[in-house]
Structure 1
């Protein structure tokens, strides 16, 4: 385990092939993933803030128990700004399991007993992230969640996403159907695609690579890029960085998960990089 200048502990994962990743205990936040023989696959803002109580801009934030501002809680819930603990024995250098338990701080905004676990594993050309939520209280609760994955692309104006054609999506208060054969981002996009297929492809021609995304347990997919005007209003993102990223997030937003006392839920996303 290492640390950064802000004093936040960080774990380095490595695979014998050369694939590697970095994970902060702060928010159980994956901030870097480099496939074997390749280049950085996750976007992390050069202006990202690393501090207690603050979300990190980029990587893979863990969203729980509320997605965005769709409810009474702070935006994107509490998990991404809480300190998590390592619970595996450290015998696998390419994998880690982290845990977050409810606390007085989480009860202040969400009065439920829970345990969240995040399992992260890196391989030669793939990254796997699995989120499990257990209800440890005596009453049912509901939540929404996401793995808010920021993919790094060479130029988002040249990138495209396949697998969303014909699907319903929400954009603000409107609901529409995607009629494009592939999604090309040429302006601000903030969509929640409902009941999406498990497999999607993101083409990154500038870097001559494709991202193959496979989700399990999550019913929906969020696609987000703030574009120029919204990026300029973000204090933790430089003005031109929207060109370097696209968020394609495994999510459970359209229908909240209801967990009875003692029950658990698991959702995962596995990303593979291959030459275009």
Structure 2
């Protein structure tokens, strides 16, 4: 079975999930691959591939694990709204709610669930069930998000797996595979097409790559990471750059130089679900 670890900080009485919200689920594969997932947000905060000597995900040293807070780093689950692109709170509410562990019989895999409550319906008035399945094995981490419409009216949503990849030096990091993809650039403004074979990060980058290729490669010095998405049509690439990073209280000084977000996303065209319908999107990271 998966290992459950209780954390010292507890949610306030009456909060969703009660004391379980600060539990951390530890996944351990027979080959040594390991991951940690908090019930708070079903948030993957750590992943070490088999045989690796360091974590492949970036987690800020100043990350806030408090109630109603989003953890800076790892893999936040963005649902039912991406960023501030709509009337809901930024990035929706899934990342700062207590999820429930519903299946953890395998030591290398766990399934988490979030369903609508009076509190979520006050923000987004729809009945839903979301599931997040996390699996570690060898050099790979797979995270799959499923959303089901459990109500009697249709709804639409946007979503992303806001993956923070750890790098040694962002100035020496490149992302390959996006050439020819249409970009919605939030920093430079406007739409254009990616012309570079290798995307290099210099300063703030905040881009939605629409209808992106399903397989990308990040090269960080001698390390390589394959990023495979399925069901998510878009890719978001984000790094705050030094100026914005300095204004983020939950990001340690210089943290922007050690991370790159490459997010599997459904942003350009919202996912539409009729009553009873289900949708699944996944992202698989493979260390090379």
Query: What is the aligned residue count?
Result: 271
1:47 pairs with 59, 62, 65, which one? 62
Note the 1:118-133 alignment, pairs <5 A. Answer: 118-133=132-147
2:155 pairs with 132, 135, 141, which one? 141
Q: Which residue is 1:160 aligned to?
A: 174
Q: Which residue is 1:3 aligned to?
A: 6
Q: Which residue is 1:187 aligned to?
A: 203
Distance of 2:56 and 2:136 partners within structure 1 = 12
2:85 pairs with 52, 70, 74, which one? 70
Q: Which runs of 5+ in 1 are unaligned?
A: none
Deviations 1:111-157 (A, max 9, x none): 00000000000001100000000000000000000000000000011
Q: Which residue is 2:111 aligned to?
A: 97
RMSD: 0.8
The alpha carbon displacement at 1:51 in A equals: 1.2
1:241 pairs with 255, 270, 274, which one? 255
| TM-score, normalised by the number of residues in structure 2 | 0.93
Q: Which residue is 2:99 aligned to?
A: 84
Distance of 2:183 and 2:23 partners within structure 1 = 38
The alpha carbon displacement at 1:238 in A equals: 1.2
Q: Which runs of 5+ in 2 are unaligned?
A: 11-21
The alpha carbon displacement at 1:55 in A equals: 0.4
Q: Which residue is 1:24 aligned to?
A: 38
